[in-house]
């Protein structure tokens, strides 16, 4: 006869604080043959799987794999636990195994596994789950559809699939409208994001902040300022977004003025941004010689490069090429796979050199704000990660027929490339020979600061 654990035994689970205590309860269940009862073990697996303590989560996996035929609840529990413990790949593996065991997923399964494919940026896997949702009759479940919508917003190359899901949803809640806003921001469609925000039945502060941050990060400061004024309610994140935008663009006085205004609450982000500003001011970084972008010598091209790295495996790059007069020649941006931030920076350098070479350049000044990378390029004998070493070897091979100078510069001298790298997160690879509107302000700022610096030097009588 199948035994059941006493209510007192199960009531101990929420109060467990160590792996040792968990093992003691499991040992008692084995001794009394309770461990063969799916209900009792499910309670134990659920507690262990949802723990963020690695050893306790490992115990959940051990218990799960002891079952010859785990039921749907056990699968859902371990898939959910895998997500909590940042094991998206294991969550998707469990889903595939569950399907192999001929178990039909339910609404909870779909919500968990869609999040797993989203975290892995696996669009094809998400599309397969979408098909299964339609076949199993969950195509009208609002919570499942909202999770599906978010997956397409994050993983899709554009917003077409997400828009189709959104338009076919029988009920559109606040979360679904928020997904569409953040999705369009992610893909750089800021005007479309604002349109969805204006049509949403409820004003959502997170959506306003998402668009504001998008304008600020894309160096569209004037539009960020207008949106900031239009916002019905501004929280700390709103102020931080505009302050960061000002600092990134070099509008330091505006950032200081906004910071000194009565804001809801100054948090760690606010203070970190402004502290960095004051440290630079104290060290004289704003006024010292060389704090303005400078063109190369006559006959040379200057290539400014920047890499962005947001999460494991996902990166972007931006490249700006200008001549000895400071005039725009070409630019390129896009996304790439990278193992680290310095790999993304190196990839940007390689793309910049290749772009300049296609223009026939033989003399290049390559500027990057990654000092570690520049040191490695100047001294390839330095020890480095294997994949980075191979990429640097490729770069040195590419430039063997050119005269190239590698230089390390501050972020304030690399704003144009940084702006392009930000754009690279939102679009496919693209190169162009005329500066787009979103880049003109940054290029004009470089030119204006360089001109102002020349006037100051002339007034001081310096060379």
> Lowest-pLDDT range, 14-28, 45-59, 266-280?
14-28
- Residues 408-420: tens digit of each pLDDT: 988 778 889 988 8
- Rounded CA separation 42/56 (Å): 15
pTM of the model: 0.59
Residue 26 pLDDT: 57
Residue 32 pLDDT: 52
Mean pLDDT confidence for 159-186 = 92
State both tokens at 8.
């007192």
- Rounded CA separation 310/308 (Å): 7
Residue 388 pLDDT: 76
Mean pLDDT confidence for 441-463 = 51
Residue 16 pLDDT: 58
Reported as a pLDDT band with limits 50, 70 and 90, residue 286 is very low
Q: Using alpha carbons, list the distances in angstroms from residue 98 to 40, 88, 114, 132.
A: 21, 15, 15, 13
Tell me phi and psi for residue 72, to 5 degrees. -65, -40
- Rounded CA separation 299/325 (Å): 10
- How many CB atoms within 10 Å of residue 338? 26
- Residues 372-405: tens digit of each pLDDT: 889 889 887 765 556 677 888 899 999 998 999 9
State how far Cα 115 lies from the chain centre.
Answer: 16
Residue 315 pLDDT: 85
What the chain holds in terms of domains, given with CATH numbers, is: 185-288 (1.25.40.10), 301-460 (3.30.420.10)
Which of 167-171, 234-238, 239-243 has maximum average pLDDT?
Answer: 167-171
- Residues 316-372: tens digit of each pLDDT: 899 999 998 888 999 999 888 887 788 889 999 999 999 999 999 999 999 998 888
């Amino acid at each position: 006869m199948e035994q059941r654990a006493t209510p007192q035994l199960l009531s101990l689970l929420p109060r467990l604080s160590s792996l040792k205590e968990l093992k003691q309860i499991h040992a008692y269940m084995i001794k009394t043959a309770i461990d063969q009862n799916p209900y009792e073990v499910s309670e134990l697996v659920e507690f262990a799987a949802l723990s963020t303590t690695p050893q306790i989560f490992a115990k959940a996996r051990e218990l799960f794999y002891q079952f010859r035929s785990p039921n749907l609840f056990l699968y859902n529990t371990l898939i959910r636990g895998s997500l909590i413990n940042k094991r998206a790949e294991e969550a998707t593996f469990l889903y595939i195994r569950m399907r192999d065991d001929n178990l039909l997923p339910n609404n909870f399964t779909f919500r968990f596994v869609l999040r797993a494919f989203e975290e892995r940026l696996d669009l094809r896997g998400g599309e397969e789950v979408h098909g299964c949702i339609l076949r199993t009759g969950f195509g009208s479940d609002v919570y499942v559809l909202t999770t599906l919508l978010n997956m397409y917003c994050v993983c899709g190359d554009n917003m077409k699939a997400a828009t189709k899901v959104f338009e076919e949803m029988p009920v559109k809640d606040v979360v679904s409208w928020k997904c569409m806003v953040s999705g369009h921001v992610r893909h750089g469609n800021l005007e479309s994001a604002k349109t969805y925000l204006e049509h949403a039945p409820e004003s959502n502060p997170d959506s306003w902040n998402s668009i504001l941050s998008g304008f600020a990060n894309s160096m569209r400061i004037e539009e960020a300022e207008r949106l900031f004024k239009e916002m019905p309610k501004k929280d700390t994140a709103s102020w931080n977004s505009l302050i960061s935008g000002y600092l990134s663009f070099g509008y330091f006085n505006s950032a200081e003025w906004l910071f000194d205004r009565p804001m809801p609450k100054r948090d760690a982000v606010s203070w970190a941004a402004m502290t960095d500003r004051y440290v630079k001011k104290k060290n004289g970084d704003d006024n010292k010689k060389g704090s303005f972008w400078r063109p190369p010598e006559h006959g040379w091209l200057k290539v400014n490069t920047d890499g962005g790295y947001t999460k494991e495996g996902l990166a972007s790059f931006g490249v700006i090429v200008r001549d000895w007069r400071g005039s725009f020649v070409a630019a390129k941006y896009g996304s790439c796979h990278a193992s680290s931030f310095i790999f993304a920076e190196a990839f940007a350098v390689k793309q910049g050199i290749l772009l300049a070479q296609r223009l026939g350049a033989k003399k290049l000044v390559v500027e990057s704000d990654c000092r570690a990378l520049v040191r490695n390029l100047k001294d390839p004998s330095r020890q480095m990660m294997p994949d980075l070493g191979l990429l640097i070897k490729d770069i040195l091979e590419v430039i063997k027929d050119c005269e190239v100078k590698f230089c390390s510069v501050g972020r304030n001298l690399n704003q144009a490339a940084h702006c392009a790298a930000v754009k690279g997160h939102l679009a496919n690879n693209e190169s162009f020979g005329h500066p787009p509107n979103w880049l003109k302000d940054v290029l004009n700022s470089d030119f204006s600061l360089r001109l102002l610096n020349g006037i100051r030097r002339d007034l001081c009588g310096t060379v």
